[in-house]
Amino acid sequence: MIMTKQYTQDELWKLFDTLPEELKQAVFSPENADHIFNICDRYNIEQMPKIAYYAGLVLMGIIPAADFESILKKEIGLEEEKAQTVAREVNRFIFYPAKPAIEQLQKTAEASAKQTKQGTISAAPSQPIAKEKTTQEEDIAQKPKAPDSYREPLE
């Protein structure tokens, strides 16, 4: 899924303000800027600002990290092999260190999108949430079929 909506600078700043501190630091990290500069320099890519922009959108949870490579191909016009290599390195040096925070942000975004789609949700659910139960048949199904050679028989 490729991003189609163009965000204004104000929208991006408002979204930035809601980010966890770890992702705020990652967006403006000098180390991440150095990584992007070095990657672009190594592969003779002139669109460094665009790559930094899209990497920032991933860090802000606007674009899934899995779509970064296709964005490099479609939006920036990189060849298949170069896009794969750049995406792999950006993922390794920039996205991977922030992976738990990015995943949490995306889960939160998906949950809020689901709530918005369903309409407003009350503070307390009207029905109690049922806990998962394991039935006796499920317990039996999980037991090994062969006798356990490490157990002594019961008398």
User: How many CB atoms are located within 10 Å of the residue 55 CB?
Assistant: 28
Which is more confident, 153 or 127? Answer: 153
Q: Check whether 1 has a pLDDT greater than 90.
A: no
- Mean pLDDT of the chain, nearest integer: 79
Higher pLDDT, 58 or 119: 58
Q: In this predicted model, which residue has the larger pLDDT, 128 or 72? A: 72
DSSP codes, 40-87: HHHTT-S-HHHHHHHHHHHHTTSS-GGGHHHHHHHTS---HHHHHHHH
Domain ranges for the chain, please list them: 21-109
- Structure token pair of residue 93: 């040096």
pLDDT at 59: 92
pLDDT band at 141 (very low <50, low <70, confident <90, very high): low
- Beta carbons within 10 angstroms of residue 77's beta carbon: 11
Instruction: Provide the pLDDT for residue 149.
Output: 62
Residue identified by tokens 């600078």 is 9
pLDDT tens per residue across span 127-136: 444 444 445 5
The least confident of 6-15, 23-32, 66-75, 139-148 is: 139-148
